[in-house]
Amino acid sequence: MLTLRQEQYQCFAADELSRFKAALSEHLLETFPLQTSMADAEALSAYVDLVIHQARDAGIDTQASVQSFADHMIVLGSGFHENPLYAEITTPLRDPDLISPVQRMDLVYDRAWDYLERTRGRDGKDLVKAMGRLRAMLSLRHERWTDDFDELYANVKRIFPQKAASHDRRTLAAFFKATLERAGMDGFTKRTGRALYVCIAFLTGIGFFHDPLVRAGAAPQAAALERETDPRQRVALLGTGAMAYLDKSLEMLRGTSDTTGG
């Protein structure tokens, strides 16, 4: 069985690893057509590399378990294994008594899908509504947001009430702290930008800023952010990028609903 441990990388035949990456890319395209629809081949390849890297960090290193990790990363967001919101879901990843990576991912699956059913609603309708709420809030008032706990708490409850209600204030505080630290590392020093970063992360995943699938939905803004150093302009680009990503996502979801008669 192919393993993906860092110390074994040099031992792989290049074509063997390439075949695995190609198979994983095909799996994601077939299983998650909406989530991958905005990504070109380069972005999807970068996403697969990110999946393998994060899976290895979490101790997941076989083909079957990495594929399962990729599935969970699609629905829970990049960095889900480090996200305080999902600490209970990912407990099996840190259980020393579980040797098999497949067993660990099977237990993560049981916890994750119970959580997703509670929060996303039937056919993901509550998630779609949350996307619409964030889009509306971005267009109306995010320039006045601050990174105070109470305001962050009020905003995430407004954006995605089902998800917010699934976590106590202590867990949300841990999520805010971890996400604000990431915002700082990604160059967002203004309180408005930091608050905006948290709200986007609550919906799309704690690692959204470096997620190739998310960036593909806001490619011009993502490219501009790589070059921009002015703090105010970075906040503006983060906001317009989030709106572009949400607009494209909602457009695709509406098209799917029209096609299926939903």
Per residue in 129-140, pLDDT tens?
999 999 999 988
pLDDT category of residue 262 using cuts at 50, 70 and 90: very low
Average pLDDT over residues 75-102: 95
Please give the C-alpha separations between residue 172 and each of 65, 133, 178, 179, 240, in angstroms, as whole numbers: 29, 19, 10, 10, 26
Model confidence pLDDT, tens digit, residues 16-35: 888 999 999 999 999 999 99
Residues 10 and 111 reside in one and the same domain: yes
Q: Last residue of a domain, which of 120, 137, 166?
A: 120
Checking if the pLDDT of 80 tops 80, the result is yes
Q: Are residues 184 and 201 in the same domain?
A: yes
For residue 13, what pLDDT is reported?
58
Given a contact cutoff of 8 angstroms between Cβ atoms, the answer to whether 95 and 104 are in contact is yes
What's the mean pLDDT in 229-247?
95
pLDDT range class, residue 182, cuts 50, 70, 90: very high
Q: Which two tokens stand for residue 69?
A: 């990790």
Boundary of a domain, candidates 93, 120, 147: 120
- Domain termination residue (choose one: 88, 104, 120): 120
Residue type, 7: E
Q: How many CA atoms lie within 13 A of 60 on its CB side?
A: 28
Q: What domain range includes position 186? A: 122-260
pLDDT of residue 256: 64
Find residue 62's DSSP bridge partners: 3
Residue 116 φ then ψ, to 5°: -65, -40
Same domain, 127 and 250: yes
Binning pLDDT at 50, 70 and 90, where does residue 260 land? very low
The whole-chain average pLDDT of the chain stands at 91
- Residue the block writes with tokens 């993906």: 4
In a domain, residue 1? The reply is no
Question: Cα–Cα–Cα angle for 74, 174, 197, nearest 5°?
Answer: 60
pLDDT-based confidence at 254, cuts 50/70/90? confident
Structural domain tally of the chain?
2
| Residue 145 pLDDT class (50, 70, 90 cuts) | confident
On whether both 61 and 171 belong to a single domain, the answer is: no
Q: Are residues 66 and 184 in the same domain?
A: no
Residue 82 within a domain: yes
Mean pLDDT of 40-62: 95
Give the closest residue to 242 by CA, choosing from 194, 206, 201. Answer: 201
> Do 140 and 235 have their domain in common?
yes
pLDDT tens digits for range 186-227: 999 999 999 999 999 999 999 999 999 999 999 999 999 999
